[in-house]
């Protein structure tokens, strides 16, 4: 094992992550946990079977593994991590939730050098891991080689721009502490945060982040040693900007499918006054632009060896779009459910769109009905109609962040 990976392992042996209590929080943010949801979100088709193979790559203390187990009852699940202490916690988490020891196959392994994991996987879930490898490309290569040709991956990687302030703090802490003894590092880190004036932008950023974490995962997690080590004392972390991430995918011939928080990537959020300039850019160039202004700390997206066709190119104005089996209509609105029967928040446009799809109206009729509320005035021309159809298709499953 190379020196950097050995250091990462040592860190997670001492401070397994996430340091979350068993049980109570298991069902939080389940979107990417459901293979059925991910497949439909990306391909607009339900998978042929739910008896699939799933890999949780870098499973940590099993928070994600438990969610995968719950969301995919018919799947065979393999979970891999470098750190033995994390795997022990993960197994205990599954047991505490009432699962037997055969519910998940846990393996200690380095993602950069995977041994035989059996037949290829339909779904690989890898969140918060690849940016901690000295060679993310090598890890991604290994994952791709374990994925079926029509399989789907859900990756969460740190956002380079979104973590710029965190990197500054990491670097200044490194000037105070030698990077060896993590207990000393923790003392330096806590003392630094306690002493930094409240109005300092780094402190404000830290407090904001802490509040978000406390609201979502509890105050104990937000103040845990494991969180501080993982975030500010991290021994190996790559600063990847979105074009770097796309380059990693391109080398492995993986197609980018969709962001989980696609609504966040709409350029008009940041450039409402420059629509023509933005429209002239390719989609990756537009994403790269948004990347520089987006403050979210992570990228969460789906990728696959297969470039699943978006139906925009094949659907005709007189075709009748079918209701989605994952969308439930309540009296007032469309509700998207994931594999756990939980509701995922759709944007307003998505909700209006799904409400209009009743299996009887054609695209043309739906476009006419929705055009005024979306500010489209020229749906009576073929070009105008196609523009609106495209806009609606882009809102197919756009989740609110």
Ligand X SMILES: C[S@@+](CC[C@H](N)C(=O)[O-])C[C@H]1O[C@@H](n2cnc3c(N)ncnc32)[C@H](O)[C@@H]1O
Binding interface with ligand X (CB under 6 A): 5, 8, 12, 17-18, 58-60, 63-64, 80-83, 86, 110-112, 127-129, 132-133, 230
d(CA 384, CA 156): 36
Which residue number, 60 or 339, has a Cβ lying nearer to ligand X? 60
C-alpha count within 13 angstroms, C-beta hemisphere, residue 145: 14
Which residue number, 127 or 224, has a Cβ lying nearer to ligand X? 127
Q: How many CB atoms lie within 10 A of CB 152?
A: 26
CB of 235 to ligand X, least distance (A): 10
Which residue number, 133 or 389, has a Cβ lying nearer to ligand X? 133
Query: Pick from 84, 128, 130: which is nearest to 109 by CA?
Result: 84
CB of 208 to ligand X, least distance (A): 20
CB of 111 to ligand X, least distance (A): 4
Which residue number, 86 or 338, has a Cβ lying nearer to ligand X? 86
SS3 123: strand
CB of 128 to ligand X, least distance (A): 4
Which residue number, 2 or 382, has a Cβ lying nearer to ligand X? 2
CB of 194 to ligand X, least distance (A): 24
d(CA 246, CA 242): 6
Residue 50 CB-density burial (10 A; 0-12 exposed, 13-18 middle, 19+ buried): middle
For residues 26 and 51, the answer to whether their CB atoms sit within 8 Å is: no
CB of 225 to ligand X, least distance (A): 14
For the chain, how far is it from start to end, CA to CA, in angstroms? Answer: 39
Which residue number, 13 or 322, has a Cβ lying nearer to ligand X? 13
d(CA 130, CA 256): 16
Which residue number, 87 or 327, has a Cβ lying nearer to ligand X? 87
SS3 128: coil
Angle at the Cα of 116 (from 248 to 6), degrees rounded to 5? 60
Angle at the Cα of 60 (from 56 to 62), degrees rounded to 5? 70
- Report the run of H or E that residue 382 belongs to, with start and end: helix 382-394
DSSP string, 91-110: HHHHHHTT--TTSSEEEE--
> Which residue is associated with the tokens 């055009």?
371
For residues 17 and 226, the answer to whether their CB atoms sit within 8 Å is: yes
- Report the run of H or E that residue 10 belongs to, with start and end: helix 3-14
What are the φ/ψ torsions at residue 272 (nearest 5 degrees)? -65, -25
CB of 140 to ligand X, least distance (A): 12
Q: Looking at beta carbons, which residue is closest to ligand X? A: 60
Which residue number, 110 or 122, has a Cβ lying nearer to ligand X? 110
Which residue number, 129 or 366, has a Cβ lying nearer to ligand X? 129
CB of 173 to ligand X, least distance (A): 18
CB of 165 to ligand X, least distance (A): 19
């Amino acid at each position: 094992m190379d020196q950097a990976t050995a250091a990462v392992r040592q860190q997670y042996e001492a401070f397994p992550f996430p340091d979350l209590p068993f049980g109570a929080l298991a069902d939080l943010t389940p979107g990417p946990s459901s293979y059925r949801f991910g497949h439909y979100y990306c391909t607009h088709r339900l998978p042929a079977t739910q008896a699939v193979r799933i890999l949780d790559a870098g499973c940590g203390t099993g928070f994600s593994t438990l969610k995968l187990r719950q969301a995919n009852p018919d799947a065979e699940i393999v979970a891999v991590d470098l750190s033995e202490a994390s795997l022990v916690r993960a197994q205990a988490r599954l047991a505490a939730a009432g699962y037997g020891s055969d519910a998940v196959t846990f393996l200690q392994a380095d993602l950069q050098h995977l041994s035989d994991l059996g037949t290829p996987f339909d779904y690989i879930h890898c969140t918060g891991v690849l940016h901690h490898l000295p060679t993310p490309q090598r890890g991604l290569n290994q994952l791709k080689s374990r994925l079926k040709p029509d399989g789907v991956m859900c990756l969460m990687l740190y956002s380079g721009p979104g973590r710029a302030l965190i990197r500054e703090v990491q670097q200044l802490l490194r000037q105070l502490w030698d990077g060896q003894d993590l207990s000393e590092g923790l003392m330096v880190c806590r003392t630094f945060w306690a002493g930094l004036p409240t109005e300092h932008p780094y402190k404000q950023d830290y407090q904001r982040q802490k509040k978000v974490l406390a609201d979502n995962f509890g105050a104990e997690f937000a103040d845990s040693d494991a969180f501080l080590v993982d975030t500010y004392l991290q021994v190996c972390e790559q600063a990847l900007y979105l074009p770097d991430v796309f380059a990693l995918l391109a080398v492995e011939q993986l197609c980018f499918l969709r962001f989980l928080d696609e609504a966040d990537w709409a350029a008009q959020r940041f450039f409402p006054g420059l629509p023509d300039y933005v429209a002239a850019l390719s989609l990756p160039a537009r994403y790269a632009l948004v990347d520089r202004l987006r403050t979210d700390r992570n990228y969460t997206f789906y990728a696959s060896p297969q470039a699943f066709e978006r139906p925009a190119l094949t659907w005709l104005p007189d075709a009748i779009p079918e209701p989605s089996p994952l969308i439930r209509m309540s009296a007032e609105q469309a509700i998207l459910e994931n594999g756990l029967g939980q509701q995922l928040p759709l944007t307003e446009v998505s909700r209006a769109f799904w409400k209009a799809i009743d299996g009887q109206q054609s695209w043309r009729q739906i476009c006419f009905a929705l055009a005024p509320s979306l500010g489209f005035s020229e749906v009576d021309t073929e070009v105008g109609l196609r523009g609106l159809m495209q806009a609606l298709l882009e809102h197919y499953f756009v989740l609110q962040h």
